[in-house]
Amino acid sequence: MHQDCWAEIIPFLQPIDVLASLLTINHSLHNLIKKLCIVTFDRISQFTAGCCSELKISFNCHDDFENIEKINHDVPIYGNVKYFIRLYLLKLSLKLGNQDPENGDLNVISDILNSSELKLLNFYRSVFTEFKFPQQKNPSTIAYCVVGEAGVGTCYFCEFVRFGKKSYSLRYGFESFYKKFTIPNEIEWQQQIWIPDGSERFYSKQDVIQRYKKYDKSMYILPCFSMNYETSFQTVGDWVSIIRDTLGIIVGLSTTDFSLDPLEEKKVSLNDAVRKAFELGFSVFVESDDNHIFTPFWFIQLQSTYFTFNKNDNWDCSLM
C-alpha cells in the first residue's frame, strides 16, 4: 500500500489500533478474516434503516468454515469487498437523505459530508481500484430506467425526484429527465432518469426491457418494488435476471397508486429486502420513504464517481 494512503487514513484511527495493526498483519490474521469475520443481516438491516451508524463485525460460530457463504444469515467479510464498499456509499447517501440538489448549494452538501468522510472515501478509493463502473457512450451521463410491477408507484417516485415535490404530470409515452447530484470535489455526472410508460401493465418484462433498450442500448435499470405488497417484492429478481446492468441498489417504495388490490396488501420485512438485494448481484437495499426520496440517487452518484476513479490502475486483490 502506498505510504501516502496510510498518511491519509492514520488520522482517523486510534493509536492503539495502529499499533495493533503493526503486530497482527500476518498469515494468521488473514485466515482469521477469511474464516471467522462476518456481518449479520440483522446488523446490516439496522444499518440500512439508520438505526445504527456502523457495521459491527462478528465472529462466525459455525463449524463449517469452508461453506460459510452458504449460511444465509451472515455475510462473510472475505470475498465481499464490493458489497461493503456499496454499504459505505449507502451510509453517505443516507446522510444526504432528502437533499434536493437543485434546491440547495454545495456548501450544504459539504456540511453534511464533511471533509474527513470524503478523505476516508478517497482512501478506500485508492486501495480498491479494481472495480470500474462500465463506460457509457457519454462519460458524463449515466442513463437508467426505473422499473417495477405495475402500480408500485414508480411514476410518482420519478415525478417527486424530477420536481422536488409530490407531483404527477400527464405524459405521453416513454420520456426522461436529467438531474445533477453534485458532490463537492468529485467528478460531475448527470443522471438521465427514464420514467416508465406503463407498458409493464400490458407486456412481459422481457418485452418491456427491449422497448426501453431501443432508446438507449447502454441503459441500466433501477429495480423497485412496493414495501406494502409482497407480490411485487417476489418478482423483483425477474427484472434483474433479464438485464444484468443494474446499479447495485434496489429500492423499496413506501407509496403505491390506487390500482393495486387492498386485499393483497402484505408488508415486506426489512431483513428480507436486505437479503434479496444481496442475492441479486451484491446490491444494497434502501427504503425510499418521505425522508429518503433522494437517497437512491445520491448513492448512484457516489458509486458512479467511485467506480470511474483511477481508470488506469490495475490492482489484483484476493478479497474481492
Least confident of 12-16, 235-239, 261-265: 12-16
* DSSP assigned state of 283: -
Domains annotated on the chain, with CATH: 1-320 (3.40.50.300)
Contacts of 61 (CB under 8 A, 6+ apart): none
Distance CA 166, CA 162 (A): 10
Put residue 29 in one of left, alpha, beta given phi > 0 → left and psi -120 to 50 → alpha: alpha
178-193 average pLDDT score: 82
pLDDT at 28: 62
162-169 average pLDDT score: 73
Tens of pLDDT, residues 107-125: 788 788 877 777 777 777 7
Q: Is 91 helix (H, G, I), strand (E, B) or coil?
A: helix
Distance CA 45, CA 34 (A): 23
Mean pLDDT score across all residues of the chain? 76
Distance CA 270, CA 34 (A): 27
Instruction: Give the C-alpha distances (Å, rounded to integers) separating 229 from 166, 225, 235, 270.
Output: 21, 8, 11, 13
Distance CA 124, CA 27 (A): 22
Least confident of 89-93, 109-113, 306-310: 306-310
- Please check the confidence at residue 257 and state whether its pLDDT lies above 60: no
| DSSP class per residue in 5-68 | HHHHHGGGS-HHHHHHHHHH-SHHHHHHHHHHEEEEHHHHHHHHTTS-SSPPPEE---S-GGGG
More confident residue, 234 or 261: 234
Annotate 127-176 with three-state secondary structure.
HCCCCCCCCCCCCCEEEEEEECCCCCCHHHHHHHHHHCCCCCCCCCCCEE
Grid coordinates belonging to 152: 408500485
Distance CA 307, CA 297 (A): 15
Tens of pLDDT, residues 5-62: 555 655 565 554 544 555 555 566 567 667 778 888 998 999 888 888 888 878 776 5
Tens of pLDDT, residues 78-88: 878 888 889 98
Percentage of the chain exceeding pLDDT 90:
16
| DSSP class per residue in 217-282 | TT-EEEEEEETTBHHHHHTHHHHHHH---B-SEEEEES---TTS-GGG-BPPPHHHHHHHHHHTTS
pLDDT at 198: 76
- Please check the confidence at residue 139 and state whether its pLDDT lies above 90: no
More confident residue, 276 or 136: 276
Instruction: Give the C-alpha distances (Å, rounded to integers) separating 114 from 177, 182, 268, 302.
Output: 29, 14, 34, 15
Least confident of 192-196, 218-222, 261-265, 274-278: 261-265
| DSSP class per residue in 28-39 | HHHHHHHHHEEE
- Please check the confidence at residue 167 and state whether its pLDDT lies above 60: yes
Tens of pLDDT, residues 126-136: 776 655 554 55
Distance CA 29, CA 7 (A): 23
CA quadruple 169, 174, 175, 180: dihedral sign? positive
Contacts of 319 (CB under 8 A, 6+ apart): 78, 79, 81
Distance CA 43, CA 48 (A): 9
> Which residue in the block uniquely carries the three cell numbers 444465509?
72
CA-nearest of 200, 208, 199 to 225 is 200
